[in-house]
Chain A
Amino acid sequence: MPIVSLAWHSLMNRRFTAMLTLISVALSVALLVGVERLRNETRSSFANTISGTDLIAGARSSPAQLLLYSVFRIGDATNNMSWRSYQDLRSHPKVAWSVPMSLGDSHRGFRVLGTTGGYFEHYRHARQKTLQLAQGRVFDDIYDAVLGAEVARKLGYRLGDQITLAHGAADVAFARHGDKPFRVAGILEPTGTPVDHTVHVGLEGIEAIHIGWQSGAPLPGTGASAEQTRNMDLTPKTITAVLLGLKSKVATFQVQRFINEYRQEPLSAILPGVALNQLWDLIGIAENALLLVSVFVVIVGMFGMLTALMTGLNERRREMAILRSVGARPIHVFALIMGEAGFLTLLGVTLGVAALHVILLVARPVMQSQFGISLALGTPSLTEAGLLASVILAGFLVGAIPSYRAYKLSLIDGLSVRV
């Protein structure tokens, strides 16, 4: 095609406007694919806030509420479950492991979770990652605490520091367990999950600080000192929730039914993956809005290209007439404009994807450490490929408008140009 090299020379002659068009297409594509990728990663990162756990059980409540307080430390349990019920659950033949959780205390705005060493073994986030200690070790003393990364960072704690827990979510003087301070034994790596915002202590520690407390206040004369409690029976009477791992996934619904129909007290069991996805459907609307906005940015970019091509058209009527005079057919004129639009679109999309990868390369470590979102590099997903294909299609459709107009003009104008 003789027209290809002409189209190239013509485009280079207008490289400044072409560059602007290219940049607007590239940036809008980078935004679109970036938003889509971020959306995907946040969704999967959210859905993987807790993984490896087959069931979460607690006192009877709505699935969302159970999920919110047991995993996200948002809100409170309406009721606790008894230690005896917990023993029943853990000894169920299909249960492989269980991790009790006791919530209700806080430290300077961060929730405190009483649990066992099993929590660090069985809790999984972001596709089967276990919790890793950045410093120190998991608690082995009653008064040991393991801090989430964000707690340590915000409050500037280091290993060996003493911290005081408070009763309830509000940190007020009269509700502090000041007599029984905890020692920071370990600090976790960041995970991008609520674990980062949690102070972890042993179940016995929670029990110890509540000896002599009733109805959320210390009962005068019944307390025991930190050392005295060491010799007491610290088996809790109640816990808030329990994470369960099953021997076989097949048994999930059977065990769930067992818990939901448990006779001794009303309990609920949820499948965390299902509950997380239901919750996401609620809060994911914002992300859809974000995608919609980026789609509109692409449309604006396309209009930019259309404007540039249409504006250029009148100035190029002379060019068309010259080409027609040396034997170019109207279809050549169509191809000239179309080729330009197609070239700008394809190059814009390529540059956009490339730019996104450069941005991702820079942003990845930050996203991972700050938000626990692992942005994947490399080949686009099926959805992204679909988006890119739509952009390219849109580019060609947009290009067809001025191309058809140029085609018509070259038919009408012939060799004379009426400007």
Chain B
Amino acid sequence: MQAIEINDLTFRWEKGGPTVLSLDSISIARGEQVFVSGPSGSGKSTLLSLLAGVTTAEKGSLQILGNRLEQLGSVERDHFRANHIGYIFQMFNLLPYLSMVENVTLPCRFSRQRRHRAVKRSGTPEHEALRLLDHLDMAHDELLGRPVTTLSVGQQQRVAAARALMGAPEIVIADEPTSSLDANRREAFVQLLFNECRDSGSTLVFVSHDESLKPLFGRRIPLAEINRAGHRATTAE
């Protein structure tokens, strides 16, 4: 079973509107680490919304872990995302009113499955959070006690990575996670992400327009080239 399998998929924001995304077929194996590249307007946001199950395709199929997302209801898709997908935003990943550990354990509040896995691995979700934070070099007492808003951008992104990996979801989606980092820290962050995804067996979909990161990945999907809707795409990115 593939982690992600796309077949003859088209998407429009509204009926009669322009086609934003039109893909022939993409298949991503489990455990693979894929770099999805493309300038803004190439349909990246749309693809991310589809992968996260926030929207569904108009035609064609998108299978994640063997589940056809367009056949699930919106509530089921929300559950599916909670159970199987870790998500890292470009920036401002953290809820300012929660502590670092609480931010990391957040998925466990919405997914029993991920909670179980975290408990199985470390005893409690909090211990699992500390384990992940320790791997990302964030588990220092001085940092743990601080309001998350006082962390540097790089530190916040690492906390976000820990959250995405919490409870070992099968898929980790990262939406330009390094664009707010300094150039010399980007590579280190990607390496950390690689290690952790490998460790938990997660498939990594890394979306970025930063071509300099491309050599780090074994596989690259140039979205602008394979999106048959081409530059007609008008997503608000």
Contacts and interface: CB of A to CB of B under 8 A. Distances in A.
B: contact size bracket: 20 to 34
A324 B75 CA distance: 12
B95 A415 contact: no
Given A328-B78, A414-B55, A415-B48, A12 B87 contact: no
A326 B110 CA distance: 7
A327 interface: yes
A319 interface: yes
Interface in B93-146: 93-98, 106-107, 109-111
B110 A322 contact: no
A414 B89 contact: no
Interface string A256-280: 0000000000000000000000000
17 contacts: A2-B110, A6-B98, A10-B97, A322-B89, A323-B95, A325-B81, A325-B89, A326-B106, A326-B109, A327-B82, A327-B110, A328-B82, A329-B74, A414-B49, A414-B52, A414-B55, A415-B48
A415 B52 contact: yes
Given A414-B54, A415-B49, A326 B89 contact: no
A153 interface: no
Contact of B81 (A12, A319, A327, A418): A327
B110 A12 contact: no
Contacts of B82: 326-328
B54 A6 contact: no
B75 A325 contact: no
A405 interface: no
A415 B85 CA distance: 13
A321 interface: yes
Interface in A1-21: 2, 6, 9-10, 12-13
A230 interface: no
A225 interface: no
A416 interface: yes
Interface in A388-419: 414-416, 418
Interface in A224-262: none
B1 interface: no
Contacts of A321: 89
A2 B52 contact: no
A318 interface: yes
A13 B95 CA distance: 10
A415 B87 contact: yes
B163 interface: yes
A37 B161 CA distance: 58
Contact of B98 (A9, A329, A418): A9
Contacts of B106: 322, 326
Nearest to B105: A326
A135 B81 CA distance: 83
A328 B111 CA distance: 9
A9 B105 CA distance: 15
A281 to B, nearest CB: 55
A325 B87 contact: yes
A412 to B, nearest CB: 10
B126 to A, nearest CB: 15
B97 A327 contact: no
Contacts of B94: 322
Given A324-B54, A416-B237, 10 more contacts: A319-B95, A322-B95, A322-B106, A325-B89, A327-B78, A327-B79, A330-B78, A415-B48, A415-B89, A416-B236
B48 A13 contact: no
A: contact size bracket: 20 to 34
Nearest to B79: A327
Contacts of A415: 48-49, 52, 54, 87, 89, 175
A2 B110 CA distance: 7
B234 interface: no
B83 interface: yes
B98 A327 contact: no
B163 A326 contact: yes
Nearest to A327: B82
A328 B92 CA distance: 17
Closest 8 CB pairs of A and B: A327-B82, A13-B97, A414-B54, A327-B110, A2-B109, A325-B87, A329-B78, A9-B97
B63 interface: no
B92 A318 contact: yes
B54 to A, nearest CB: 4
Interface string A21-38: 000000000000000000
Contacts of A325: 52, 81, 87, 89
B45 to A, nearest CB: 5
Contacts of B163: 326
A13 to B, nearest CB: 3
Interface string A92-116: 0000000000000000000000000
A4 to B, nearest CB: 10
B52 A13 contact: no
Given A9-B98, A325-B87, A329-B78, A416 B109 contact: no
B45 A328 contact: no
Interface string B37-55: 0000000010011001011
A411 to B, nearest CB: 8
Q: Which one of A10, A323, A325, A330 has the greatest number of beta carbons of chain B within 10 Å?
A: A325
A182 to B, nearest CB: 76
Contacts of B49: 414-416
B89 A6 contact: no
A369 B117 CA distance: 71
B109 A6 contact: yes
Contacts of B237: 416
Contacts of B81: 325, 327
A416 B45 contact: yes
